Amino acid sequence: MEAEATTRSRRRLDVLDAAVRVLSERGFAQTRVADIAERCGISPSLIHYYFDSREQLLLQTLAYANDQFFLRLTRQLRTERTARHQLEALITLALPRAPDDPAGVGDWDLWLDVWVQSLRNPDMAREREILERRFRLTIRDIIERGRTSGEFPGGEDSRLLGTRIGAVIDGMAVQMLLNDADFPPDATRDLCVKLSLALIGSRVG
């Protein structure tokens, strides 16, 4: 029984891993369940066994990719000695990378699809908010750490600041994904750091 449960869990992770790649390549609108099934070598009916709908599959795929992002982020933050360096590392990992970077655009293709679907799907909108809140609270924690260490000044509510900085990151990321010439990767990353520090009230230079 335990072995069977382990097999089901692994198969579900295989489906999610394949879904990340297929959805990132094709987008939600152009992806069929059969495409994901073909990528991981199983039947479409088996995917329907794990997920009730394409929308649920998209959301669970984003949640899975989001978990992988936070795993990378947590490991990176542990190596940074100051709150400011942690904030810079978070922004660097969160923003899309240049097309020739092995990390590519990361999970942003999935986020764009979820945002579009959330406009008309209340269930997905609620789940999206939960996922985004996790990111904002991570920023809040870094701000609180910086205030405790004396790196960042006190002042405005740290949770509100986390929400605002998250919005700055999201907005710049969208422009980068659209290949806007006014938002080159390195310069945009630096600008995002400067704006975030300015919101916190920390010295930018």
pLDDT of residue 182 exceeding 90: yes
User: 3-state SS string over the chain?
Assistant: CHHHHHHHHHHHHHHHHHHHHHHHHHCCCCCCHHHHHHHHCCCHHHHHHHCCCHHHHHHHHHHHHHHHHHHHHHHHHHHCCCHHHHHHHHHHHHCCCCCCCCCCCCCHHHHHHHHHHHCCCHHHHHHHHHHHHHHHHHHHHHHHHHHHHCCCCCCCCHHHHHHHHHHHHHHHHHHHHCCCCCCCHHHHHHHHHHHHHHHHCCCCC
Most confident of 24-28, 66-70, 97-101, 133-137: 133-137
Mean residue pLDDT across the chain: 89
% of residues, the chain, pLDDT over 90: 56
pLDDT of residue 186: 92
pLDDT tens string 45-60: 888 888 888 888 888 8
- pLDDT digits 0-9 by tens, 105-147: 457 888 998 899 999 989 889 989 999 999 999 999 999 999 9
Give this prediction's pTM. 0.86
